[in-house]
Copies of this chain bind each other. A is one copy, B any other.
């Protein structure tokens, strides 16, 4: 049975000592989030995740969801009760404005709680996660009467939400979308079509399900410019807020899939279902992208979360499993063999995962804090700069944290030998669950294209230049600090590689866009390495600050310094290979005719 302990101490270290959350106290909601309040909130979240959600993770995997002949879907044993506790704890709405029943706390706290929930039980965490995404889209784009009708119940966790984009023939390329919307005399629409891969599309845990659905209004232009967004409740909601008739939407089937069995992935049939327009006609993608961006950050967090829980279990196993003797002499003479953590290749594995996890968590918190600035600051320039950061880092976080997070679950599984391949230890489930995060909310190849094709050049490269300046200025500032040398030196080289890669695109991809496409994935990972390395610099700096007065906590800060060095020595050198691949361009990639494949 796998274990999970929420990394509350590490989170608090990042919030308080690395990112100095107190400096944000001028933003709405932050004054209420004093260090002791944050600690209490995270402590409660940890307890819920460790004691309620984690024990249901394997149950969810084994039982899965079941669709009954009447179209009802039941979730695995215990999920409904756990969702009740989630609702009663008010966890869905902790960062939603008070006026809709939320607690108005900083959004960074939502990302943290989501990390813990996704480590404990990713399939479960998707239900509230999608609800939060739907809330975000409604908050920004819906008319006041729609907000009043739907938001309070969703924020309270009484109703859940979904997003309906994909159709059988249409995933990434939403311009091909066929679902139809026909305007009615009362201003509502009748929606007809089939959507696939709808997570949490139907289940038994909430009184209503609020579907956000992309569809094409009769007579709208072809392509992406004729798509509108609708809210389509499963149960129609009367003006007094009570539930009316069942709407014309139903779950046609549940997909049989590789993992996240506890989440119902549904084919949804819309058969003249009544829906209401969100935002303007034909501007649906615009409205949906609010939800997508929120969701993409959240999916990046899923990659980190699975990597974290896989690490925790692998570390425990490595300290308990006795096999072989240390190369440097017997370490456990009273036992028939040494614990496998004495072996360098096992250490290498654990250090690699950990050096990623701790920096990835920092990257998420840093970006989530910028998100709070982007949404809450009264200073327009601050908002713009924070928004630039979010736009630039969101595809990096989504792509890199899920690619590396998945690879880490595989590495953790490897430590178990044959025991990792059987279901008993639960680690193979982490691999199967983590895999989806590389795919949904825009497959990672799409994230790379978003980064290279859209984000780099936007506003004359303003966001990326700001990022380079910030990292560069930091490295320059620390260049005279001997204790920071082991981190600053390698990072200077890595930043140089990233800048060369960026420059190469500028010089070679305008005339020949395939050069950008062929290098995009490598560029995204190069960017991720630099961003994670920057986080390690910040973490090392904070650890060095704390060490002189750390006393009993000194081992913790020393561990940060050793792990930072490991990252610089072992992981950052990959930037050279990534750059080399970018700089060869697209020729050998694109030369063969399609029929040669």
Residues of A with Cβ closer than 8 Å to B? 166, 169-173, 175-176, 196-197, 255-259, 265, 315, 318-319, 322-324, 327-328, 336-337, 339, 341-351, 354, 406, 410, 413-414, 417-424, 428, 431-432, 435-436, 438-440, 443-445, 448-449, 512-514, 516-518, 520-521, 555, 559, 562-563, 565-566, 569-570, 573-574, 576-577, 580-581, 584, 586, 588-594, 596-597
A306 to chain B, nearest CB (A): 14
A240 to chain B, nearest CB (A): 39
How far is A436 from B413 in the complex, measured between Cα atoms in Å? 11
Q: Which residue of B lies closest to A323 (CB)?
A: B173
A13 to chain B, nearest CB (A): 15
A576 to chain B, nearest CB (A): 6
Residues of B within 8 A of A591 (CB): 562
Residues of B within 8 A of A596 (CB): 555, 559
Residues of B within 8 A of A562 (CB): 588, 591-592
How far is A166 from B418 in the complex, measured between Cα atoms in Å? 9
| Number of identical protomers | 2
A596 to chain B, nearest CB (A): 5
**Interchain residue pairs A-B with the least CB separation, the first 6:** A344-B517, A327-B513, A344-B518, A573-B580, A566-B588, A315-B597
Which of A197, A319, A344 is the most central at the interface, judged by chain B CB atoms within 10 Å of its CB?
A: A344
Contact, CB under 8 Å: B345 / A258: no
Contact, CB under 8 Å: B422 / A255: yes
A357 to chain B, nearest CB (A): 12
A257/B417 contact (C-beta < 8 A), A341-B597, A346-B445, A589-B351 known: no
Residues of B within 8 A of A445 (CB): 343, 345-346, 349, 414
How far is A592 from B559 in the complex, measured between Cα atoms in Å? 7
A439 to chain B, nearest CB (A): 6
Contact, CB under 8 Å: B422 / A521: no
Contact, CB under 8 Å: B424 / A256: yes
Within 8 Å by CB of A258, from B315, B432, B520, lies B432
Contact, CB under 8 Å: B424 / A318: no
Q: Which residue of B lies closest to A406 (CB)?
A: B410
How far is A514 from B341 in the complex, measured between Cα atoms in Å? 12
Residues of B within 8 A of A171 (CB): 323, 417-419
A232 to chain B, nearest CB (A): 21
A133 to chain B, nearest CB (A): 17
How far is A172 from B414 in the complex, measured between Cα atoms in Å? 13
Within 8 Å by CB of A347, from B354, B428, B569, B590, lies B590
How far is A514 from B424 in the complex, measured between Cα atoms in Å? 32
Contact, CB under 8 Å: B586 / A344: yes
Contact, CB under 8 Å: A573 / B566: no
Within 8 Å by CB of A514, from B322, B328, B584, lies B328
Q: Which residue of B lies closest to A442 (CB)?
A: B417
How far is A569 from B255 in the complex, measured between Cα atoms in Å? 40
Residues of B within 8 A of A169 (CB): 322
Contact, CB under 8 Å: B428 / A443: no
A457 to chain B, nearest CB (A): 14
A173 to chain B, nearest CB (A): 4
A532 to chain B, nearest CB (A): 15
How far is A581 from B570 in the complex, measured between Cα atoms in Å? 5
Contact, CB under 8 Å: B590 / A324: no
How far is A256 from B428 in the complex, measured between Cα atoms in Å? 11
Residues of B within 8 A of A258 (CB): 421-423, 428, 431-432
Residues of B within 8 A of A555 (CB): 593, 596
Contact, CB under 8 Å: B344 / A514: yes
Contact, CB under 8 Å: B328 / A513: yes
Residues of B within 8 A of A341 (CB): 594, 597
A584 to chain B, nearest CB (A): 4
Contact, CB under 8 Å: A584 / B570: yes
Residues of B within 8 A of A350 (CB): 597
Residues of B within 8 A of A594 (CB): 319, 339, 341-342
A297 to chain B, nearest CB (A): 20
Contact, CB under 8 Å: A514 / B327: yes
Residues of B within 8 A of A257 (CB): 421-423, 428
How far is A586 from B342 in the complex, measured between Cα atoms in Å? 12
How far is A439 from B418 in the complex, measured between Cα atoms in Å? 6
How far is A428 from B257 in the complex, measured between Cα atoms in Å? 8
A395 to chain B, nearest CB (A): 13
Other than A172-B324, A173-B337, A428-B435, give 10 A-B pairs with Cβ distance below 8 A.
Answer: A197-B418, A257-B422, A257-B428, A328-B512, A343-B445, A345-B521, A351-B592, A418-B440, A570-B584, A573-B576
